[in-house]
Amino acid sequence: MPDSRASKMALVCNHWGPGLAQIQDGKLTGVSPHPQDPAPSEINGNIASSLNGRARVLRPAVRKGWLENGPSATAGERGQDVFVEVDWPTALDLLAAETDRVRREHGNAAIFGGSYGWGSAGRFHHPQSQLKRFLNTLGGFVRSEGNYSYNAALVLLPHIVGNFRDHVKEATRFDVIAEHGDLLVMFGGIPLRNTQISDGGLGKHRIAASLKQCAKNGVRMVNISPLRSDADEVLGAEWVAPRPGTDVALMMGLARTLIEEGLHDLTFLEQYTVGFERVEAYLGGETDGVAKDAEWAETQCGVPAGWIRGLAREMAAKRTMISCAAGLQRADWGEQPLWMTVTLAAMLGQIGLPGGGYTIGYGVNGSVGVMDRLLRPGALPQGENPVTDFIPVAMSADMLLNPGAPYDYNGQSRTFPDTRMVWWAGGNPFHHHQDLNRLHEAFQRPETVVVNEMNWTATARHADIVLPVAAPEERRDFIAGKQDNCLIPSPALVPPAGEARTEYDIFCALAERMGVLEAFSEGRSEEDWLQSMWSRTVQSAAGEGIGLPDWAAFMAGDMIEMPDASPQQVFLAEFRADPVASSLPTPSGRIELFSAVIDGFGYDDCPGHPVWAQPRGMSDGSSRKWPLAMLSGQPATRLHSQLDNGAYSLSRKIQGREPVLIHPEDARARGIADGDIVEMFNGRGACLAGARVTRDISQGMVFLWTGAWHDPDYADPRRRDRHGNPNVLTHDLRTSRLAQGPASHSAFVEVRKYVGDPEAVTVHEPPGFCELDECTSRKK
């Protein structure tokens, strides 16, 4: 362990929190826990091995087919072509010329710079911000809107209750639940594996202790999820596992029971909501002839009607918090569980009371329900984007495959742009997008694909030009999480690997070639920008009565913890206290259980109030052919796909494959034993995985963690993934025409034991290369 001063100088922090880096002979060799973090993340165990791993992009590289044939959608196959390593001047000249060509021939609206992904946690070296600032100085780009985590909430909730991004910051604190609550009903649980992470970083992991305090104070918890571990064992939560995709039916059975037994709060509904009469008629079967009572709910979700009625009575009798996990919306008709959560909470009449009401998003990260930041830290301005066109974030494959095609979104009739150039920085769509075989085909369509990356992920292998970027530990920055109260220095600990550069350095070099260096850099170095951003942070803190050190002292020190902005926060307490003075930003100013605006859109897949519909795989019969419902979620071993080649991530794999959880009865029926390699497949694709036989998953379900780097076997006609990436199996359909969110949790598969020697996983090794003189380089 380094001495205290060395520990401070070796401070490291990412989206999963801080640590102390060990540096030996100029090499980062390990990361130990930060002494101030009460529950440090083991994801830090990936950093050293990934930074020093064989998958690092060490030099600029150009795809052979693109270099020989020029920009073309048919010049070789992206994903399996080999690369030519070139020097930086060559790479930058090629890229500057190609960017100018696309702008000149097709306009800036032909450039897609959506570049979704978490990237670095640093305030300055945030890849998307750097890329977007650069493209904006050139005249703009087509952007993406929303996110993969909770896009349905971002679009739906403003119509019925308000801005969801505000709501996660305003969520009732777990400490308030511990003091005032009696019952915590968790649809989708509150998985602690997710709470290792927080957008932009965090200083301390607090949620586990806060939930334990709730349990210690006698708050009863109910985990309604197919996965037992979605509630930590020490909480003593009752586990109930409905059929996949049927949470809305269960919620409706609870709601109808409240109505039948006169347990709903009519006074609250009349004073604070609009449209309950429409919902009541639907629940009673007046609109479709089907009463959504507890017996009906049992036929849909498999949970006994008696249990449903008992829980409804308990919820009405106790101070009850309803939690809806963000993952529930990443499914067919994903808007509906959100709307029904709000409806059920409104019927109980406890919204705005300490320990009661609802929260959508507990467990989505390590901050919701425990912390919010007091001030707004400095950030890199992205500038104005002259291009107004955008796509919903989950529709990138649709955009590339269907230029000019119409689609609906949130009441708008839109058309997809004709994209000629894709530029990705700080993300991995071959991790977070669905139906990767379809995405592979989509990535063949643009004329040029550019990727800034530190590792040879599948996205980098689908690029024409790959630019090696420095890792967070190889550049100087500071951390200030989106919803955290800590400011954390992030010094450069080791030199960049190979010829890697920071994104700012790369974009300055490109901007100089394209005549916009002054507009992009404003004449500032990286250090100038960092000091300017820190000065704005100091000024913001001074406005809150907090003194911060100067830049040099801050960077030489440890993390700084500031007060919580609202430690006794109760969601919608002001609205409850005065619904007129604190009216909601909805058309009525109240909670809209029926939305005339949404109803006016005329969407059959998302009408004006919450409705029930079976998942597509159940309603179209495909679940009979692929009988196991597959869920996929954030693993405990990494953030999404970041540092998948790190030691901690690799240590939890089975024979090098991602683990899939399968119930003992489902395994027995298929001759599968714990530790076997299995093949998972459906009509979209196939992958290999390692079987983990456990009763922690409900029967009829399998759970495959996300983030294994996509490793397709191109010799297989199905391009079977060798590594265990679930998105070769998920469909690329949307939640509805309203939000157009991803619906990855509505996949159905079959699983069988793999017989023989499986192909080796290759994606943690670099791709194939050839020498420049082996290619016929195109003329500039």
Give the type of residue at 77. Answer: E
CB 373 within 8 Å of CB 482: yes
- Going by C-alpha positions, the residue among 354, 325, 348 that lies closest to residue 276 is 348
* DSSP strand pairing (677-681 vs 701-704): unpaired
Provide CB contacts within 8 A for 465, sequence distance 6+.
60, 61, 62, 63, 66, 91, 94, 95, 98, 448, 449, 450, 451
CB 224 within 8 Å of CB 188: yes
Cα gap 529→12, rounded to integer Å? 20
In the chain, what is the straight-line distance between the N-terminal and C-terminal CA atoms, in Å?
53
Query: Side by side, which strands form the sheet with 27-33?
Result: 11-14, 17-24, 27-33
- Going by C-alpha positions, the residue among 95, 133, 104, 7 that lies closest to residue 520 is 133
Active site residues: 116, 118
Continuous segment of H or E residues that includes residue 679: strand 677-681
If DSSP codes are grouped into helix, strand and coil, which group holds residue 690? strand
CB 124 within 8 Å of CB 528: no
Handedness of CA 159, 163, 164, 167 (dihedral sign): negative
CB 203 within 8 Å of CB 559: yes
Q: How many CA atoms are closer than 13 Å to the CA of 423, on its beta-carbon side?
A: 27
Burial of 582 (0-12, 13-18, 19+ CB in 10 A): middle
CB 425 within 8 Å of CB 449: no
Distances, alpha carbon 330 to alpha carbons 508, 642, 738, in Å: 38, 21, 14
- Going by C-alpha positions, the residue among 408, 434, 360 that lies closest to residue 738 is 408
Q: What is the full DSSP assignment across 744-763?
A: TT-EEEEEEE--SPPPPP-T
Cβ atoms < 10 Å from Cβ of 359 = 26
- Going by C-alpha positions, the residue among 744, 142, 61 that lies closest to residue 467 is 61
CB 609 within 8 Å of CB 595: yes
Question: Quick one: how far is CA 370 from the chain centroid?
Answer: 20
